[in-house]
Amino acid sequence: MRKITVIMLVLSLMVSLNVFAFEFEGYKWGTPMAKMKKILEEKNKAPVPLDSGRGLTYNDVIVGAPCVISLYFTPMTKLLAYIQVAWSATDIGADVRELIQRRNGVPYYYGDLKLRDFNTQFRWGQATGERIMLDYRYQQTLLSYYSGDYYSKYQDELGNKPENLKHKL
């Protein structure tokens, strides 16, 4: 029975991760917030605005475990820029890492290289493109998925351009 459960968990995560690569819940990078809210409601999700007003959050089950999904949008134009999935336990993290690694190769960042075998922080992707970050420590597993173009737009709209940061020092 345990073996069947593990196989089902792995298969459902593989399907979920393939969705992350191009779309998630039927939308794509740059989807407007209003459209995203409508899509989620049509799927019987209950999206709630984040306190910052820059996103939506809702509860779901991914890879057989309950999680909180947060969608972040560019501050002014309200276009989808990044997604975070948070599980309230670390025990799923190694399985998520293994599946992402199978699909995307060896991560380029391992955190403290001296502790590589015990590390719980991983990164995939390039700074200019889509990025995946996985961190499973402090009693939670956090998977973040960023669109290079829209995340840059998100930072620009926040005023976090390098030339703006110099003046804030």
Q: Which two tokens stand for residue 108?
A: 């380029």
Give 125's strand partners: 131
Number of domains in the chain: 1
DSSP string, 26-66: TB-TT-BHHHHHHHHHHTT---EE-TTSSEEEEEEEETTEE
3-state helix, strand, coil in the chain (%, to 5): 40, 30, 30
| Domain housing 87 | 2-167
CATH number, domain containing residue 160: 3.40.1000
pTM: 0.73
Distance set, CA 107 to CA 30, 99, 114 (Å): 26, 12, 16
What's the CA gap between 70 and 55, in Å, rounded? 7
Mean per-residue pLDDT over the chain, rounded: 76
What's the CA gap between 111 and 119, in Å, rounded? 7
pLDDT tens sequence across 91-143: 888 888 887 888 778 887 655 555 555 567 788 886 567 788 888 877 888 99
pLDDT tens sequence across 69-86: 999 999 899 999 989 999
Bigger pLDDT: 44 vs 114 = 44
